Amino acid sequence: MANSITFGRCLLLLLLLAVVYSGMPTLQLLNAPLVILIIALDGVDGWVARKRGEESLFGATFDIAADRMVENVLWVVLAHLGLIGVWVPLLFIVRGTLVDAIRSTGTASGTAAFDMMQSPVGRFLVAGRFMRFSYAAVKAVTFAWVLLWQPFPALFPAFWNTWGAGMDAIGLALVVASAALCVLRGLPVVIEFLANRD
């Protein structure tokens, strides 16, 4: 069941991409609710796995892969649309590739990604539920906020002419906050890996 929810998130991502690139501003009003649903389901699949006793190394790995796919695709799409700078997806892709490569060493030995963290700071920043939730929430708000305004110039030009610059500034602040958390949560993985190498 939990893995089916994770797979459903991937299908919803495809639906979101179809809406974003539809060229239909009225339909694009669904952007933000779809993003929120996709990211909210990330918490649901983990909850279902725990409640049903379906926690597994495969499920944890699949969940992280789906998270990474959703995140990277959305950052690339936002950059392609010119809504954010290209530095953002590059940062997330580089950090994700590095962290996932390090985590693969643990997965190969049967250790789930979050179980690899040994220091209290690393466990808090990387594996702790508060930080995982906070990071997901900031990204969800960022994606939803930026995509919310995509149809506004066409649907509500007067509103956009008056408020668009402010909406963009808030979006940029959210993007920077997401990028900062990305780096902050990636550093402990790299540091502990380098400190514990043979």
- The DSSP result for 50-67, as a single string, is HHTT---HHHHHHHHHHH
C-alpha to C-alpha distance for 126 and 121, rounded to whole angstroms: 8
Tell whether the model's pLDDT for residue 132 goes beyond 60. yes
Q: Please list, in sequence order, all residues whose beta carbon lies within 8 angstroms of the beta carbon of residue 99, skipping any fewer than 6 positions away.
A: 186, 189, 190
Average pLDDT over the chain, rounded to an integer: 87
Residue 43 tokens read as 């918490």
Query: Computed from CA positions of residues 159, 165, 168, 170, in that sequence, does the dihedral angle turn out positive or negative?
Result: negative
Tell whether the model's pLDDT for residue 110 goes beyond 70. no
Res. 195 pLDDT band, cuts 50 70 90: confident
pLDDT score for 85: 95
Res. 113 pLDDT band, cuts 50 70 90: low
Tell whether the model's pLDDT for residue 109 goes beyond 70. no
pLDDT digits (tens, 9 = 90+) for 37-76: 998 887 777 667 677 777 666 667 677 788 889 999 999 9
Reported pTM: 0.84
Helix, strand or coil for residue 156?
coil
Residue 196 tokens read as 């514990």
Average pLDDT over residues 4-11: 84
C-alpha to C-alpha distance for 46 and 3, rounded to whole angstroms: 9
pLDDT score for 111: 58
